[in-house]
Structure 1
Amino acid sequence: MEESAKPRTIVTSSSSPYVEFDNFSITSVSYDRRFLQSAPGLLIMLELVLGLLVWTLIAGTEYFRFSPFGWVMFVSVFYWVLTLFLLLLLLTRAHTRIPQIPWVTVVLVFNCSATLLYLVSAVTEATLVGYGVKGRHDYNSWAASTFFAFLVSLSYAGSAVLSFRSWQKRDE
């Protein structure tokens, strides 16, 4: 039989998320529904919603007139994007395919740094709210954004506590 006329072998396994065709594989994407119902999953969803409120409320104003708002925008957008990426990573369980990375430690460091930097940006934003004129659009948006920045700081702090407990259990 000629080399090109050989029948192709399809190898499948119920435990593997891959379907292999000779030298080529296709990954099936699945997601963990229970993760969204767990405390870490709910906190990540809360962080995404609150973080989105923080940066959209600021972005709709003339924040560029006060340079510290640039810091607040950076922190809120940066951590919003990273939190979205983390959610997708944990939801699809893609992190289990890269066991060389200590994910429990990475998530702990991520949540602690997010808590700290969001708290600093919330305090920075709270000091800047006074520069707006009460009743005007910028003032109201900045005040609301400050409130949500403190709430998202608390959400990241809750995630940090859960991550710390998970990290402790890993070492036992």
Structure 2
Amino acid sequence: MEESGGSRAVINTSNPYQEFDQSSSTSVVACDSHFIRSPSGILVCAEVVLGLLVCGLIAGTDYFRVSAFGWVMFVAVFYWLLTLFLLILFLTHTHSRIPQVPWATVVLVFNSSAAVLYLVSAVVEATLVGRGVKGHHNYNSWAASTFFAFLVSLCYAGSAVLSFRTWRERDSG
């Protein structure tokens, strides 16, 4: 429990997606260090960093000549931007100002879809890298991007498991 200027905010460190108490309606935007240190926060930060690596490694090549790399780039950029947006929402507790949104469900669907689409992208990219682009001058960047795409899909899968637990707790509680 934290007290700040007469408003009460409930912080549950075991459930980082737990919304703040509705009586907490201050206009001060603060950074939640509890979320960043939680398993969910660590995974989200890893997703942002690894997703940026996937984007950067592909963007530095002539990926547009191979249409499947365009798909990988789309997934990487799309989920990187949305993950960054959700990170900012949860760090600043802005999500608690929109109680109409079922955040546990939104985060569960988001993480599950990201895990599946990133895994598909990583498999597509691995297939392309393993099948004949070895002599291509972008091979090293594409191979590294494939590795990081698999890592970020694992991070999203871990986040999906954690968000499923949160969703189940909210549903049964």
Q: TM-score range by the shorter chain?
A: 0.7 to 0.9
Correspondence for 1:133: 134
For residue 171 of structure 1, report the CA deviation from its aligned partner: 1.3
Letter in 2 for 1:131: G
Q: Which runs of 5+ in 2 are unaligned?
A: 8-23
Secondary structure in 1 matching 2:133 = coil
Q: Distance in 1 between matches of 2:51 and 2:108?
A: 19
For residue 131 of structure 1, report the CA deviation from its aligned partner: 3.1
Q: Distance in 2 between matches of 1:101 and 1:63?
A: 37
Correspondence for 1:23: none
Secondary structure in 2 matching 1:55 = helix
Aligned pairs (5 A) from 1:1-172: 14-15=6-7, 16-18=24-26, 27-129=27-129, 130-134=131-135, 137-172=137-172
For residue 127 of structure 1, report the CA deviation from its aligned partner: 1.1
Q: Which runs of 5+ in 1 are unaligned?
A: 1-12, 19-26
Q: Distance in 1 between matches of 2:146 and 2:163?
A: 25
Over the aligned positions, Cα root-mean-square deviation in angstroms equals: 1.3
Secondary structure in 2 matching 1:125 = helix
Q: Is the 8 A contact 1:108 1:167 kept in 2?
A: yes
Write out the 4+ residue segments of structure 1 that deviate beyond 4 Å after TM superposition.
none
Q: Distance in 1 between matches of 2:102 and 2:111?
A: 14
For residue 17 of structure 1, report the CA deviation from its aligned partner: 4.6
With structure 1 as the length reference, what TM-score do the two structures score? 0.84
For residue 38 of structure 1, report the CA deviation from its aligned partner: 0.1
For residue 14 of structure 1, report the CA deviation from its aligned partner: 2.4
Q: Is the 8 A contact 1:72 1:122 kept in 2?
A: yes
Letter in 2 for 1:133: K
Secondary structure in 1 matching 2:49 = helix
Q: Is the 8 A contact 1:43 1:158 kept in 2?
A: yes
Q: Is the 8 A contact 1:17 1:29 kept in 2?
A: no
User: What whole-Å deviation, never above 9, does each CA across 1:108-154 have from its counterpart, x for those lacking one?
Assistant: 000000001001110111111133234x5400000000000000000
Letter in 1 for 2:61: T
For residue 29 of structure 1, report the CA deviation from its aligned partner: 1.0
Q: Distance in 2 between matches of 1:83 and 1:59?
A: 19
**Which structure has the bigger radius of gyration?**
1
Letter in 2 for 1:30: A
Secondary structure in 2 matching 1:29 = coil
Secondary structure in 1 matching 2:154 = helix
